[in-house]
Amino acid sequence: MQYDTVLFDLDGTLIDTVEDLGDTMNKALEQFGFAQITYEQCRVMLGIGLRHFCESALPEGKKGMVDEVMEVFRKIYNDNFCEKTKPYDGIPELLSWLKERGFKLAVITNKNEDISSVIVEKIFGNNVFGAVRGAKDGIGCKPQPGPALGVLERLGSEPAKTLFVGDGETDVETAKNCGCRGVWVKWGFRELEELGEHKPDDIISRPEELKEIIERNKRID
């Protein structure tokens, strides 16, 4: 199959947000008098949504305060979401390679859409991705297929000719739900064993390995 479209997850796939998320969580925890977390602890907690992140960061016996912590976290993060965030090594080069070959690119994330759009434009510019779809009122989230399928329709792309690249089980499941080829990345927030029954079509350790998948399948055609 010759692919012409790539959908990317954002956090843990295109960009490393651990330090900004960790710093924000620690500021929120500090307001409640709770112990701080390290970046390594933060990394393990990420990848399953904000509620899980906040619950994991709260000490035992205080999990019931998750809604309060989430509210404070959101307020702080809105002003600090791109202080230390950066693309993973090799990602800018991969995106340039894809654009040079005419690939249609988009971001599909469960992160707030407005914040995601600002981050993507600040880090990658405004002419790399044809769409950035994130969490928004009235729109479903991954692993529901709706957001990705809506973006593919907007781009004029077919699921069968699309690669869905991400670091979490929700990304692998979304790819299957949409009929895309799922590519799981090793450099993100989740470990392979955490995927459970969600098996990706491909696993890559470095961004440039996505080129090999594309070229290999082009030769097969």
Dist. CA 185–CA 204, nearest whole Å: 5
Dist. CA 196–CA 189, nearest whole Å: 15
Dist. CA 205–CA 71, nearest whole Å: 35
The answer to whether the beta carbons of residues 116 and 90 sit under 8 Å apart is no
Residue 52: how many other CB atoms lie within 10 Å: 13
Catalytic residue numbers?
9
For 107-144, give the DSSP string.
EEEEEEHHHHHHHHHHHH-SSS-SEEEEEBTTB--TTS
